[in-house]
Amino acid sequence: MKVFKFGGASVNSVERVQKLGEILSHYPDEQLLIVVSAMGKTTNALEKVAEAFFAGKQEEALSLFKVVKDQHLTTAKYLLVTQALACEAQLADFFTEAEWLLHDQPVREFDYYYDQIVCIGELLSTAIVSHYLNEAGYRNKWLDVRDIIRTDDHFREAVIDWDFTAQKVAKMKELFATERILLTQGFIGSTDENESTTLGREGSDYTAAVFANLLDAENQTIWKDVPSVMNADPRHYPEAQPLPELNYAEVIEMAYYGAQVIHPKTIKPLQNKDIPLQVKCFLDPSLPGTIIHDEAVKGLPPIIVVKEQQVLLELRSRDFSFVAEQHAGTLYHMLESLLIKPNLTQNAAISFLCVVDDHAEKIEKLALEASQLFDVQVIRDLSLLTVRHYTPASLEQLLKDKTVILRQQTPDTIQVLVR
Ligand code: ASP
Ligand code: MG
């Protein structure tokens, strides 16, 4: 059995949904579990609905939601003939689920409403794709993943209850006795009180990996709109090259430093069961793509990851007390309690440097708290370049025209903060 994951870009138009059917034609006999994201930018659009609702702007929320509704109804209309009515009825159920909530007043926390509203994106897209595939001859069974993936109630970053979910997946697996293709949503789950949850943005890769793990899948394929994983972002580095092969550790490192290749949580469930991950291009399935597995991969080119909008916090002790002796613990504790994940830290005798993403509100809080002990300086608009397997030539090329502010290196990896 194989697990396929199709992202938002692979289902964002009538043609692309049709393309998905064509891809399945290359796998006529395989048992497949297919995980699908929300169409195109639907999740972003639903985030706006949630924000308007929570701000008390009910009219605006409803009219933003209507745009999402109409887009899906139009897509369904173009795609479907025999399944059109059945699909519309299913979509209508989800519309009602959302509108019912939007007509209320918010009384709980924002993150709860966010999840109840945003999860609709995946429900709508999978309903349409499933009906389309059935009509196109790829018989499949649609499943509401909220009946399978059980999570805690940490809305927007819900944590999976593996034991409960494993039992549900075992039940689901029995369906393969009569069905060749099961199709469900990525990114969403549900609490034990049937409240919808989400697993963090771009979480569908992770959902697919959870299923691959629990189903002991032969492999997982993520279908993307790029030919393969590249060693740099081709939009910024025209000389970027494809990476045909990577190992799990490399991908975890890349994701950690900010490469937007694969959701960072995806690798662990696969690595734990030694399940290979393929990244393939849905626009041209004949391309080899990238294969990610456990074995060491030799001869990798420099892999470049860029994080923009970085902030350097420079904390200096006022009374010449050594940072490491007096305050290191306090500093890390402050970062942890504000849920700030430093992208790079460095400490000298009386100063501590820390590079973080630009979450203005959190940084302000941190600066305020830290200013009781330190002189605090905040420098914005920087970029953090990380290069794995760097060479002198690659660094020279990368750093020309840049002002280097901070640099940290190991034999494997160099990180350079630049302006
Ligand atoms: N639709 C969700 C998002 O855009 C999940 C995903 O695409 O993986 O974040
Ligand atoms: Mg996506």
Q: 86-113, pLDDT tens digit by residue? A: 999 999 999 999 999 999 999 999 999 9
- Entry pTM: 0.90
Which ligand has the nearest atom to the CA of 43? 1
Ligand 1 close to Cβ of residue 6 (< 6 A): no
- Could you tell me if 212 and 281 lie in one domain? yes
| Res 23: pLDDT | 97
CA dist., res. 360 & res. 214, Å (int)? 39
What pLDDT is stored for residue 231 in this prediction? 95
Instruction: Give me ligand 2 centre to Cα 230, in Å.
Output: 18
Are 258 and 128 in the same domain? yes
Residues 346 and 383 in one domain: yes
- The answer to whether residue 123 sits within a structural domain is yes
pLDDT score at 111: 96
pLDDT tier at 37 (50, 70, 90 boundaries)?
very high
- On average, the pLDDT of the chain sits at 95
Question: Which one of 43, 125, 260 would you pick to mutate in the ligand 1 pocket, going by the greatest count of ligand atoms within 8 A of its CB?
Answer: 43
Task: Confirm or reject: Cβ of 90 under 6 Å from ligand 1.
Answer: no
Query: Is 194 among the domain residues?
Result: yes
Of the residues 293, 320, 348, the one at which a domain ends: 293
Q: What is the mean pLDDT of residues 158-186?
A: 98
End-of-domain residue from the set 241, 262, 293: 293
Lowest-confidence segment of 10-14, 368-372, 379-383 by average pLDDT: 368-372
Indicate whether 326 and 287 sit together in one domain. Answer: no
Task: Note whether 308 and 238 are same-domain residues.
Answer: no
Give the CATH number of the domain where residue 287 resides: 3.40.1160.10
- Number of structural domains (the chain) is 2
Q: Indicate whether 182 and 71 sit together in one domain.
A: yes
Strand partners, 198: 188
CB 40 less than 6 A from any atom of ligand 1: no
- Answer yes or no: do 374 and 316 share one domain: yes
Residues 251 and 372 in one domain: no
What pLDDT does residue 258 have? 86
Band (pLDDT 50/70/90 cuts) for residue 319 is confident
Residue 385 maps to a domain = yes
Q: What is the distance in angstroms between the CA of the first residue and the CA of the last residue of the chain?
A: 48
Residue 79 lies in a domain: yes
Residue 298 inside a domain? The answer is no
pLDDT band (50, 70, 90) for residue 310: very high
Kindly state whether residues 213 and 327 are assigned to the same domain.
Answer: no
Domain residues for the domain of 385 are: 303-418
Specify whether 252 is located in the same domain as 111.
yes
Q: Which CATH number fits the domain that encloses residue 410?
A: 3.30.2130.10
Q: What percent of the chain has pLDDT over 90?
A: 88
- Which of 228, 260, 293 marks a domain boundary? 293
